[in-house]
Amino acid sequence: MIAIGCDHGGVNLKKEVINHLQERGFEVKDFGCNGEKCDYPDIAFAVAESVASGESDKGVLICGTGIGMSIAANKVRGIRAAVVTEPTSAGLTKEHNNTNILCMGERIIGTVLAIETLDSWLYSEFMGGRHQQRIDKIAEYEEKH
């Protein structure tokens, strides 16, 4: 399952992303928002907790820039969220950093590029090896703090 959420700055792109994911057979859990003014940390924490707990396999967060969502989501232990604006970086965040939440900004990225970016992230695989050692260091730090 893919958890998805947005604030009022990402409603339109979220709808497009949900449609795209469902057309490709993914189960999607929508954590909001639906157009009303809302605070991005509330949505980011809900999606991140769903991913961190294992309820959802991965997550997608959308706001105006993607930055606020990423900052908030990364406060949840076990989350590796990255803001991306194009497919190459999206794929590399999965391959090298094993990101479990993708963040995008509706004001920054158009729908077509957002879908290409999402697909790059979804279909990339974590490479492990030396990259796993680095993720382990992050997890160890999280456990201590």
Task: Quote the CA–CA distance of 83 and 61 in Å, as a whole number.
Answer: 9
- pLDDT mean over 27-40: 93
Omega within 30 of 0 (cis) for the link into 38: no
CATH of 2-144, one of 3.10.20.30, 2.60.40.420, 1.20.140.90, 3.40.1400.10: 3.40.1400.10
Catalytic residue among 6, 33, 63, 103: 63
Q: How much is the pTM?
A: 0.96
List the chain domain ranges: 2-144
Calculate the dihedral angle through the C-alpha atoms of 108, 111, 112, 116, rounding to the nearest 10 degrees: 80
Catalytic residue among 96, 103, 131, 145: 96
Task: Quote the CA–CA distance of 74 and 85 in Å, as a whole number.
Answer: 18
pLDDT in tens, 100-142: 999 999 999 999 999 999 999 999 999 999 999 999 999 999 9
Q: What is the pLDDT of residue 14?
A: 98
Active-site annotation holds for 63: yes
pLDDT in tens, 34-78: 888 999 999 999 999 999 999 999 999 999 999 999 999 999 999
Contact present, 5 and 46 (Cβ < 8 Å): yes
